[in-house]
Amino acid sequence: INQKRYYGEKGAPKTGLLILILGAIFMKGNCATEEQVWEVLSVMWLHSGRKHFVFGEPREFITKELVKEKYLEYHQVPNSDPTQYEFLWGPRAHAETRKMKLLDFLAKIHGTHPSSFPSQYAEALRDEAERAQARGSRTSGRHSE
């Protein structure tokens, strides 16, 4: 995650909030409903519509700023009645962090090892392998020029 964007007095809390949201999305199968995200954020006493001294109105910060900056994607769930919304990782989150790094962080919070979350651990390992393969392709492409 780009620390420069959130550097300063309020930077760490905003980065921490983003990490919690990305973690919730990852742990829920790469797609989390708005309700699931707010459930996770409620442990930080963050609630939609309730102004926060760092984030302002957190729903606005999450659904507007983090979406605009492409850290998150926010979509209406098709055919939902009543209307529901879901979050996914945005392209910038994919570019700036790795699932294994996030899983390591979440495991530390829970006092365990990343392999304690078997499906997420397997996915994070696949992600690491794909990134290594992509780096290898880019590197080998440079040598052939």
What are the pLDDT digits (tens) for 14-47?
888 899 999 999 999 999 999 999 998 888 777 7
The number of residues making up the chain comes to 145
Q: pLDDT confidence of 6, banded at 50, 70, 90? A: very low
Cα distance between residue 17 and residue 127, in whole Å: 23
Please name which of 31, 1, 30, 26 lies closest in space to residue 13, comparing C-alpha atoms.
1
Q: Which amino acid is at 52?
A: H
Residue 29's SS3 state is coil
If one looks up domain 1-96 in CATH, what number appears?
1.10.10.1210
In the chain, where the domains are located: 1-96, 98-145
Q: Can the peptide bond before residue 82 be classed as cis, meaning omega within 30 degrees of 0? A: yes
> How many CB atoms are closer than 10 A to CB 2?
14
Residue 10's pLDDT is: 47
Return the higher-pLDDT residue of 139 and 7.
139
